Amino acid sequence: MYLAPGLLTACEKEIRPNGRSVIVVGAGIAGLAAGEALRKEGFAVTVLEAQEKVGGRLRSNRSLGIAFDEGASWIHGVKGNPVTKLARQAGMDTYETRDDSIKAYDLGGTAYSDAVFGNTEDALYETLRTLSSRGAANKSFEEVFFQQYPERADSRLWRFFLSTYITFDTGDLDQLSSLLYDAGEEYGGAEKIAVNGYDTIADHLAKNLDIRLNQRVTRIEYSADKVQITHNGSISEADFVLVTVPLGVLKNNAIEFVPALPANKQTAIQKVGMNCVNKFLLIWNATFWEDVQYICYTPEAKDKFNYFVNVNKFHPGSHALMTFAYADDARQTETMTDAQVIEQILAHLRDVYGSSVPAPQNMLRTKWGGNPNAFGAYSYTAVGTEMRHFDDLAAAVNNKVFFAGEHTEADYFSTVHGAYLSGIREAEKMTALL
């Protein structure tokens, strides 16, 4: 029988147990990527996951007939991005969302001209290139920005750009670092959105792993030879533990470490920020908006319901829009009823498209701020964050307790690819100890 060379290698590589055991805490992409890499190196791997399914912030809700990604939606920059390959392997279909396919409206449904919108966007990028030179360790982005450009505070269009281009990606502007607001690297190439659900990747990575669901870890004791992990009242032991819970979970002290974590790690947990973003999917029985990818609106409200993704583009005939709330406004939406949320979103859409816009048939929404498995959406560089804090978050303790997750990846924090790379990094660290 002929086997293609790649296939031959894959078949021949038999996994030899190396005698060491690892418990991975959390079955998000960081934990799953690490678990799978460690399994292939012969470690006995067990994954303990608090929720009823794998994926963490890769979470797709299909209850309305299309995949609504409650967490990550996009592969940010497909070129050289490890998630591009993973998506292909996992069978995750994607659609290129074009940033230039856009309509922008002010109050009363007055359209912004392409020139006004484009010039403001260019001016923002120019400002971002230079603002950090006026920043200071104890000053927020907001303070430095409005000191420099006081007139922009009164512009709804400027507030829209700050909200959707900065707060969405980072955090509250009055808490965002004026020095490190654009820290991190980016991949080039297109932005692609998941069509059949980002959790496809999690399911793919999970398929050969021993995963125990509904297991909430509450204590990690690492002073003895073996690490002891308490979950749902039981104790499991392993040579190593890999902690991949979100930064929000660490900030909330949801896991007790015995002995306490080193001071520099505790400082890093406090200093790096955790943003909140919530997503809302609304479905109608007919489409009343134009055939563009993005609809922008510049309301008085600061950080909510100002940006709409036209879901019809990648789910033709779905008559669906996805919108967002960020930072404080995101946390505040969590106290609102569905009816209140719908009323506010409808007020924005009716201002643009007229009073005949009907109420949606259905809505799905997230509440990441209060979610005990995350306590927020993703990490960002808050005032007081230094890049070394990401390395402190990643550092192993006593070569027994290892850490992965998007918040531990200095170059690509806050992303799916950052989380994935952090899992691979920690698997390599443990393998190097053999």
Ligand X SMILES: Cc1cc2nc3c(=O)[nH]c(=O)nc-3n(C[C@H](O)[C@H](O)[C@H](O)COP(=O)(O)OP(=O)(O)OC[C@H]3O[C@@H](n4cnc5c(N)ncnc54)[C@H](O)[C@@H]3O)c2cc1C
Question: H or E stretch including 251?
Answer: helix 247-251
| Pure H helices in 262-402 | 263-271, 327-333, 338-353, 387-394
* Contact flag: residue 191 with ligand X (CB under 6 A): no
**What are residue 88's DSSP bridge partners?**
none
Write the DSSP string, 320-342: EEEEEEEHHHHHHHTTS-HHHHH
* Contact flag: residue 406 with ligand X (CB under 6 A): yes
Residue range at the interface with ligand X (CB under 6 A); choices 1-9, 303-311, 345-353, 414-422: 414-422
Complex with ligand X: residue 52 or 100, whichever CB lies closer: 52
Q: What residues contact residue 64 under an 8 Å CB cut-off, 6+ apart?
A: 281, 283, 362, 364
* CA distance linking residue 203 with residue 185, whole number of Å: 27
Residue 158 beta carbon to ligand X: minimum distance, rounded to whole angstroms: 24
* CA distance linking residue 69 with residue 136, whole number of Å: 37
* CA distance linking residue 11 with residue 6, whole number of Å: 9
Q: Which of residues 42-61 bind ligand X (CB under 6 A)?
A: 48-51, 56-58
* Contact flag: residue 74 with ligand X (CB under 6 A): yes
The one among 22, 23, 24, 29 contacting ligand X by CB under 6 A: 29
* Contact flag: residue 368 with ligand X (CB under 6 A): yes
The one among 374, 410, 421, 430 contacting ligand X by CB under 6 A: 374
Question: What would the x/- binding string for ligand X be over residues 271 to 310, using CB under 6 A?
Answer: ------x-x-------------------------------
Residue range at the interface with ligand X (CB under 6 A); choices 101-109, 256-264, 335-343, 367-375: 367-375
Q: Given the structure tokens 């979610």, which residue do they identify?
A: 371
In the 8-state DSSP scheme, what is residue 358? Answer: P
Residue 246 beta carbon to ligand X: minimum distance, rounded to whole angstroms: 4
* Contact flag: residue 73 with ligand X (CB under 6 A): yes
Residue nearest to ligand X (CB): 28
Look at residues 59, 7, 47 and name the one whose alpha carbon lies nearest to residue 279: 59
* Contact flag: residue 369 with ligand X (CB under 6 A): no
Per the CB < 8 A criterion, the answer to whether 17 and 44 are in contact is yes
Contact residues for ligand X (CB under 6 A)?
Answer: 25-31, 48-51, 56-58, 71-74, 76, 216-217, 244-246, 249, 254-255, 277, 279, 368, 373-374, 377-378, 405-406, 414-416, 419
